A and B are shown apart, each in its own frame.
Chain A
Amino acid sequence: MMVDPYYRHVGRPEIRVDARDKVTGRALYVHDLELPGMLYARVLHSPHAHAEIVSIDKSAAEALPGVKAVLTGQELPYLLGLYMIDKPILARRKVRYQGESVAAVAAVDERTAEKALSLIRVEYRPLPAVLSVDEALEARVLVHEDINELDYVKGVFFPGPDSNIASWNRTIKGDLRKGFAAADLVVENELTLPQVAHVPLETHVAIAQADPYTDRVTIWTSTQSPFAVRNLVARAFGVSRRDITVMVPYVGGGFGGKAGIHLEPLAMVLSRACKGRPVKVQATREEEFNQLPVRAGMRGRVKTGVTKDGKITAMEIYFDWDGGAYADYGVNVGRAATYSGAGPYEIPNIELHSRTLYTNKVYSTAYRGFGHLETHWIVERQMDLVAQRLGMDPYEFRMKNILRDGSITISGERINAWSGRVDHCLEAVAREIGWTGYRSEAERQAAFQTGKARGKGIACLHKAPAMPTNTATAAIMQLDEEGNVRVLLGAVDMGQGVYTIMGQVAAEILDMPLEKVKVICESNTDANPYDWQTVASKYAFMGGNAVIRCAEDLLRQLKEVASRALHCPVEELTHGEEKIYHIQHRDKALTYRQLALGYAFGNGNAIGGPIIAHGHYIAEGLTNLDADGQGLPALDWTYGAHGVEIEIDVETGEIRVLKMASAFDVGKALNRKLCEGQIIGGAVQGLGSALVEGYKFTPDGRLLNPSFTDNKIPTAKDIPDQIVPILVENPQVDGPFGARGLGEHPMISVPSVVANAVYDALGINFYELPLSPERVALAIARHSDPANAGCNDPSNASAGRDNPDASGRHAASPRGETA
């Protein structure tokens, strides 16, 4: 493994600091915690996708010995929400999805709580449900009948009056009409993908202990967002942040699903109802699938205008998100699509509409990639579909339009020489998989006869953190009497390795052994410094800069004391090997240890004191998007590309991934092993979305696969034969040591690259996910059936060329090609 000789720690493949605790089972998670007098909660769920709650009788449940509280929405006049304030803690007056929490019981044990649930009588009056984006857009039925009265973050989100549109965000740049007029070819397509679950190993769990005499509450929770939980609990209940303590021990995976606020308010109101006894609310696996939020489904309609030589002249895109019953992060996912949703290409004229729609399904939230896997499913397939129509190599077509130094993004940002290089990533993966363009129809036929078709594909991607323009973080360091450094951060390590790389960054700046830097692996909002939340692949960048500044502050303080102790100016002091020393007379030196708690002269006089340093970082120079989606929302762009070679069993439809090469311009790999771990994990998670995963509902909106029996994710037997992570390092000048974020990116464009390879192998285009054996095999069977030869069945939405829906907006548009 390559290691930069210039750095002592940065870039080295250090083993993660939490590894030993986790593999030996000593790491404690909230599920492990038991407090004296603790009660256990269970939740009653709605059996209906959409229904009025006529009455709830909880008297029998309350009378059951051992039951300490039974709550329903009626007692809880609170509405929560990150951007749209739309979600009750327990359903009030009506239920909006099957699985929604209707009542909750706290009892002395789970068994009693479970028994009490069975005694609660709820009478529902079923209502017609909104179960597709089309039904949502029709707005004959409203998921939120009170949408006009809901509070929301104005100027950033745009709910539609008397509609199911939680937010309609748009980007308008250039002149769409002129752009299409300049095109030699216009290609239109529609692609969709279903809702998908995060599936963290650790399900959501929260324990709350509310003080019965004051507003004080302590919450232990499995969250990515301790400070956001503090903030949102304060807002929802109208209490001071002073009174809220959020504790986060180890977290067993989040993937975005544990960002924001989830079970904490319920635990809190139950604890209040139980006179302050701690109450634990832990999700079962079924609740994880069916009650807690998911990644939204989406339908994308895209229309691209190109010249004969392959320059894109215009794009029109509609992203319609099947967002479920509550807006949560969903509306911000929709908003992020407006500045990145056309892919890493220069598009001179664009109109992009991103509509987050309310439907009567389990609601959506952030999911690793924050909408980019979904938007790139549309646009990175479209790049191949357009190239096919042009008769051009999709590699060449991408390269002709790719963002480079001087390009302007769709939100009006100028890309510069230090922004990273998507072309380098695409080049690297194409080389790694031996890309030479699509195979010929004759080659396809020959391979098909063997029963195993092989194909290669490529796809690009980009993503910047989606966050407020003033997002901030901070770090604190303290020295002890041995000269060890304790680092306190606001971030949560749910598996990405942040504590390890921040230790490396600190040890690098302080020039000391890694073993002497202890990053505290627990978050406590009363002790740790502020961090907005651990999301958006932004912590390596922002936290790294804060830790660098913190370490520099520590050195400055050490030098100040050393300057007095050594009787020399601060300017003539430098540091190295855990010492502060004179730049010329190097024996004039004091160790960190001698200065850590204050310095004592020979006569006993003391100066200085315990050294405590801090550093912070706030996103600087970002601007809010205007009504046309123009502005500077991106702290840093991480570019990437995937190349894949697959083999398809043409009879069973099974896709085997022979090789997957994934390149990312990380600027500087702070820890090569962790970077490669992120890439491998993300690639496999992306393959889950590509090949296997997806929610299935009955016609009346009941989730059919709320368990591992039928909600499959890839196992060790399903991973590619070979995954080649490639780290491209064009430094980001304002990043820590040049680094950019990488956490989410590896799963973006994985479904696209697989479907592109499927086309190469079979000559069949797919427009829906997942590419399950069933979908692939049946499409092949139809394709090879002589009865279908030469025509594409318009009723077959999963395999056919250029298949815009013949209804609605597209009815007025020319299908496929225009002169």
Chain B
Amino acid sequence: MLGNFDYVKPKTLTEALEYLDRHGPESKLMAGGTDLLVLVRRNLAMPAHLVDVKGIAETGRLEFIPGQGLFIGASVTVNEVAGSEAVKERYPALAQAAGSLASHQLRNRATLVGNICNASPGADLAPPLLVFEAVVHMVSLLGSRMVPVAEFFTGVKKTVLRPEEMVIGVSLPEPPPGDRSLYLKQARIKGHDLGIVGVAARLTGEKRFCLAMSAVAPTPIRLFQLEQTLNAQPLSPALAERAGEEARRWIHPISDVRSSAEYRTHVAGVLVKRAVARLISGEGTYDA
């Protein structure tokens, strides 16, 4: 319950990276701490060093630059994302997913980057990042690299992030006008709860579908094959039905304390069908 660790809060990126260079494998990076401290309290994570990234100025940036897109720094809270006008206008699926995560109080602490670095299969914020083809910015003393979010997750609670690296933020390209997106989530209760299944769906101005889901596979997934099938068809209510049916073929959910695989499969189809139908009907449109 009362983990034994050194807590450091570097003021600069260099300071943080130097610390990670020395102690990376025994360290855990912390932003909001809403996932990490629960693990520490239950002795499921026992880091010797806890590196708080919130003191690093670059991580606080939440900025939309027309023509470039959106940048969300590692310390930006989920409530900041949910409340951002730029996000609500241009990335509705992301704003909705952010608004559905945990409770208002937790969203004041939890960060978007923390949510994806925790790499839970059920991460609420991963599906919208997947459909917007976000890029994860990682740095270490050796330099920086950028990885598409679709390649960021490698397994349950696993990512490509190396011990000496940290994520400083995530960038999302600017969607062109006419872009539509939304996020649907099924949980056990309507209040504060983890998702049983989450679906982010996007229909671009060129009528191209992007679909991503959480909690139906070891990592959050993008449904590329399903997208291809849908993109080959004309938009119609029957397409939504078909999307729901087919979605069930591309996922591999497990049974756990929150849901059986059977219900996850069932409700995944329902949510995909609904998401596609609502996009076709014009919901979630961004008009510049």
Chain A residues with a Cβ under 8 A of chain B: 110-111, 114, 284, 651-654, 691-692, 696, 704-705, 709-710, 712, 714-718, 772-774, 777-778, 781
B239 close to A (CB within 8 Å): no
Among B1, B2, B188, B191, which residue has its beta carbon within 8 angstroms of that of A773? B188
The 7 A-B pairs at the shortest CB distance, nearest first, are namely A715-B191, A774-B263, A717-B191, A717-B190, A651-B270, A704-B257, A111-B2
**Are B263 and A712 interface neighbours, CB within 8 A?**
no
B84 close to A (CB within 8 Å): no
**Are B260 and A774 interface neighbours, CB within 8 A?**
yes
CB contact under 8 A between A774 and B190, given known A111-B2, A114-B2, A652-B270 = no
Among B188, B191, B257, B270, which residue has its beta carbon within 8 angstroms of that of A772? B188
**Are B186 and A773 interface neighbours, CB within 8 A?**
yes
CB contact under 8 A between A692 and B190, given known A114-B2, A778-B266, A781-B266 = no
Which residues of chain B (188-203) have a CB below 8 Å from chain A? Answer: 188-194, 196
**B residues within 8 A CB of A717?**
189-191
**Are B267 and A777 interface neighbours, CB within 8 A?**
yes
Among A696, A704, A712, which residue has its beta carbon within 8 angstroms of that of B193? A712
Give me 11 other A-B pairs in contact (C-beta within 8 A), A714-B189, A718-B189, A774-B263 excluded: A110-B2, A284-B1, A704-B257, A712-B193, A715-B190, A715-B191, A716-B191, A773-B267, A774-B260, A777-B263, A778-B262
**A residues within 8 A CB of B38?**
709
Question: In the complex the two chains form, what is the Cα distance from A774 to B255 in whole Å?
Answer: 12
**Are B189 and A692 interface neighbours, CB within 8 A?**
yes
**A residues within 8 A CB of B1?**
110, 114, 284
**B residues within 8 A CB of A718?**
189-191
**Are B186 and A652 interface neighbours, CB within 8 A?**
yes
Which residues of chain B (232-271) have a CB below 8 Å from chain A? Answer: 257-260, 262-263, 266-267, 270
Q: Which residue of A lies closest to B263 (CB)?
A: A774
CB contact under 8 A between A710 and B266, given known A715-B192, A718-B190, A773-B188 = no
> What are 7 A-B residue pairs whose CB atoms fall within 8 Å in the complex?
A114-B2, A710-B258, A714-B189, A715-B191, A718-B190, A774-B196, A777-B266
**B residues within 8 A CB of A110?**
1-2
Question: In the complex the two chains form, what is the Cα distance from A652 to B196 in whole Å?
Answer: 11
**Are A712 and B257 interface neighbours, CB within 8 A?**
no
Question: In the complex the two chains form, what is the Cα distance from A778 to B196 in whole Å?
Answer: 14
Q: Which residue of B lies closest to A711 (CB)?
A: B257
Question: In the complex the two chains form, what is the Cα distance from A692 to B260 in whole Å?
Answer: 15
**Are B259 and A774 interface neighbours, CB within 8 A?**
yes
**Are A705 and B186 interface neighbours, CB within 8 A?**
no
Minimum distance in angstroms from A382 CB to a CB of chain B = 28
**B residues within 8 A CB of A111?**
2
Which residues of chain B (102-133) have a CB below 8 Å from chain A? Answer: none
**Are A652 and B267 interface neighbours, CB within 8 A?**
yes
Minimum distance in angstroms from B253 CB to a CB of chain A = 12
**B residues within 8 A CB of A114?**
1-2
**A residues within 8 A CB of B190?**
654, 715, 717-718
Among A284, A653, A705, which residue has its beta carbon within 8 angstroms of that of B257? A705
Minimum distance in angstroms from B194 CB to a CB of chain A = 7
Mark interface residues in B154-198 (1 if CB within 8 Å of A CB, else 0): 000000000000000000000000000000001011111110100
Question: In the complex the two chains form, what is the Cα distance from A781 to B269 in whole Å?
Answer: 12
**B residues within 8 A CB of A777?**
263, 266-267
* Total count of chain B residues near the partner, CB < 8 A: 21
Minimum distance in angstroms from A86 CB to a CB of chain B = 30
**Are B189 and A715 interface neighbours, CB within 8 A?**
yes
Question: In the complex the two chains form, what is the Cα distance from A284 to B1 in whole Å?
Answer: 10
Q: Which residue of A lies closest to B264 (CB)?
A: A774
Interface centre among A110, A714, A772, A774 (most CB of B within 10 A): A774
Question: In the complex the two chains form, what is the Cα distance from A550 to B1 in whole Å?
Answer: 50
**Are A712 and B188 interface neighbours, CB within 8 A?**
yes
**Are A696 and B2 interface neighbours, CB within 8 A?**
no
Minimum distance in angstroms from A650 CB to a CB of chain B = 10
**A residues within 8 A CB of B263?**
653, 773-774, 777-778
Question: In the complex the two chains form, what is the Cα distance from A81 to B130 in whole Å?
Answer: 57
**Are B188 and A692 interface neighbours, CB within 8 A?**
yes
Mark interface residues in B49-72 (1 if CB within 8 Å of A CB, else 0): 000000000000000000000000
Q: Which residue of B lies closest to A703 (CB)?
A: B257
Interface centre among B189, B258, B260, B263 (most CB of A within 10 A): B189
**B residues within 8 A CB of A714?**
189, 191
**B residues within 8 A CB of A712?**
188-189, 193
CB contact under 8 A between A709 and B189, given known A774-B263, A781-B266 = no
Q: Which residue of A lies closest to B43 (CB)?
A: A118
Q: Which residue of B lies closest to A780 (CB)?
A: B266
**B residues within 8 A CB of A709?**
38, 194
Q: Which residue of B lies closest to A111 (CB)?
A: B2
**B residues within 8 A CB of A774?**
196, 259-260, 263
Question: In the complex the two chains form, what is the Cα distance from A777 to B196 in whole Å?
Answer: 13
Question: In the complex the two chains form, what is the Cα distance from A715 to B106 in whole Å?
Answer: 15
**A residues within 8 A CB of B193?**
712
**A residues within 8 A CB of B191?**
714-718
**B residues within 8 A CB of A654?**
190
**A residues within 8 A CB of B260?**
774, 778
**B residues within 8 A CB of A772?**
188
Minimum distance in angstroms from B189 CB to a CB of chain A = 5
Minimum distance in angstroms from B247 CB to a CB of chain A = 13
Minimum distance in angstroms from A41 CB to a CB of chain B = 13
Question: In the complex the two chains form, what is the Cα distance from A327 to B2 in whole Å?
Answer: 34
Question: In the complex the two chains form, what is the Cα distance from A801 to B38 in whole Å?
Answer: 44
**A residues within 8 A CB of B270?**
651-652
Question: In the complex the two chains form, what is the Cα distance from A691 to B187 in whole Å?
Answer: 12
Q: Which residue of B lies closest to A118 (CB)?
A: B43
Question: In the complex the two chains form, what is the Cα distance from A716 to B2 in whole Å?
Answer: 31
Question: In the complex the two chains form, what is the Cα distance from A652 to B266 in whole Å?
Answer: 8
**B residues within 8 A CB of A773?**
186, 188, 263, 267
Minimum distance in angstroms from B3 CB to a CB of chain A = 10
Question: In the complex the two chains form, what is the Cα distance from A778 to B259 in whole Å?
Answer: 11
Question: In the complex the two chains form, what is the Cα distance from A771 to B270 in whole Å?
Answer: 19
Mark interface residues in B203-224 (1 if CB within 8 Å of A CB, else 0): 0000000000000000000000
Q: Which residue of B lies closest to A649 (CB)?
A: B270
Minimum distance in angstroms from B62 CB to a CB of chain A = 27
Minimum distance in angstroms from B132 CB to a CB of chain A = 26
Q: Which residue of A lies closest to B2 (CB)?
A: A111
Question: In the complex the two chains form, what is the Cα distance from A653 to B2 in whole Å?
Answer: 41
**B residues within 8 A CB of A652?**
186, 267, 270
**B residues within 8 A CB of A781?**
266
Minimum distance in angstroms from B136 CB to a CB of chain A = 26
Mark interface residues in B266-288 (1 if CB within 8 Å of A CB, else 0): 11001000000000000000000
Minimum distance in angstroms from A205 CB to a CB of chain B = 16
Among B186, B257, B262, which residue has its beta carbon within 8 angstroms of that of A710? B257
Minimum distance in angstroms from B19 CB to a CB of chain A = 25
Minimum distance in angstroms from A47 CB to a CB of chain B = 13
**A residues within 8 A CB of B188?**
692, 712, 772-773
Question: In the complex the two chains form, what is the Cα distance from A774 to B266 in whole Å?
Answer: 9
Question: In the complex the two chains form, what is the Cα distance from A719 to B267 in whole Å?
Answer: 23
Which residues of chain B (1-27) have a CB below 8 Å from chain A? Answer: 1-2
Minimum distance in angstroms from B79 CB to a CB of chain A = 17
Interface centre among B188, B192, B194 (most CB of A within 10 A): B188
**A residues within 8 A CB of B194?**
709
Minimum distance in angstroms from B4 CB to a CB of chain A = 8
Minimum distance in angstroms from B215 CB to a CB of chain A = 13
Question: In the complex the two chains form, what is the Cα distance from A692 to B189 in whole Å?
Answer: 7
Question: In the complex the two chains form, what is the Cα distance from A343 to B194 in whole Å?
Answer: 38
Q: Which residue of B lies closest to A698 (CB)?
A: B257
Q: Which residue of A lies closest to B192 (CB)?
A: A715
**A residues within 8 A CB of B2?**
110-111, 114
Question: In the complex the two chains form, what is the Cα distance from A705 to B263 in whole Å?
Answer: 19
Question: In the complex the two chains form, what is the Cα distance from A651 to B263 in whole Å?
Answer: 11
**B residues within 8 A CB of A653?**
263, 267
Question: In the complex the two chains form, what is the Cα distance from A696 to B260 in whole Å?
Answer: 13
Q: Which residue of B lies closest to A774 (CB)?
A: B263
